[in-house]
Chains A and B, each alone.
Chain A
Amino acid sequence: DTAVSQTPKYLVTQMGNDKSIKCEQNLGHDTMYWYKQDSKKFLKIMFSYNNKELIINETVPNRFSPKSPDKAHLNLHINSLELGDSAVYFCASSQALGTGELFFGEGSRLTVL
């Protein structure tokens, strides 16, 4: 049973479209995250969501918005997609913010044409 699962695994779309990536964790963790990994493997934190508190990396454009229907889910919604948004997006979870092991999903590769 997958601890952190993301869907879709691959997403190809046109510039200007809006898309969402879903993430679910079955570990009972309190904190979830979204990371973006570029082609050079640079892994950048985008958001963390902990007990309904959202912490946003200030460099993330406001076209990106996380939505958490409950503690086990943190979805990523992206408006007006741009070419530079092409990357692999990883969802992760941990017991608490900055505490213990981070468990990652397998990633969602987004390609914007």
Chain B
Amino acid sequence: QQQVKQSPQSLIVQKGGISIINCAYENTAFDYFPWYQQFPGKGPALLIAIRPDVSEKKEGRFTISFNKSAKQFSLHIMDSQPGDSATYFCVPHNAGNMLTFGGGTRLMVKP
């Protein structure tokens, strides 16, 4: 768990704004970089993921930016909506290892 640091712990954004959550890791063996989204009362679900051979991946309003040399990746949510209010987890890992989730980032998007 000490190998992954996610920030901020909590984030409040106005509707229509950009939400940015950052993830720093230490283990250079990681080869898969997903973000999971968890709504209250539900289990986490995969939101978007990236492999280290690309620097950016976009799916609708959600974008992952990946910086291999800095060992960081971030989640950008454009035009944030109240329905995006959830807890977000970065879970970098490689095959054969259990996924460690940590504390996540609680995002609140105000109307």
Q: What secondary structure prevails in chain B residues at the interface with A?
A: loop
Contacts of A92 in B (CB 8 A): 43
Contacts A41-B87, A97-B95, A98-B94; A106 near B100 (Cβ below 8 A): no
Cβ of B105 to closest chain A Cβ, rounded Å: 9
Q: In which size bucket is the chain B interface? A: 20 to 34
Chain A-chain B contacts (Cβ-Cβ < 8 Å), number: 63
Nearest B residue to A90, CB-CB: B43
Given the known interface contacts A98-B95, A98-B96, the answer about A43 and B102 at a Cβ–Cβ threshold of 8 Å is yes
Binding site secondary structure of chain A? strand
Contact of B43 among A40, A57, A96, A107 (CB under 8 A): A107
- Distance of B100 from chain A, by nearest CB (Å): 6
Contacting residues, chain B, for A43 (C-beta < 8 A)? 44, 89, 101-104
- Tell me the complex Cα distance, A4–B44, Å: 12
Is A102 interfacial (CB-CB < 8 Å)? yes
Extra A-B contacts (4), CB below 8 Å, given A97-B97, A99-B96: A43-B89, A45-B101, A57-B98, A105-B43
9 contacts between A and B (CB under 8 A): A41-B103, A92-B43, A97-B97, A98-B96, A98-B99, A102-B36, A102-B46, A103-B45, A105-B43
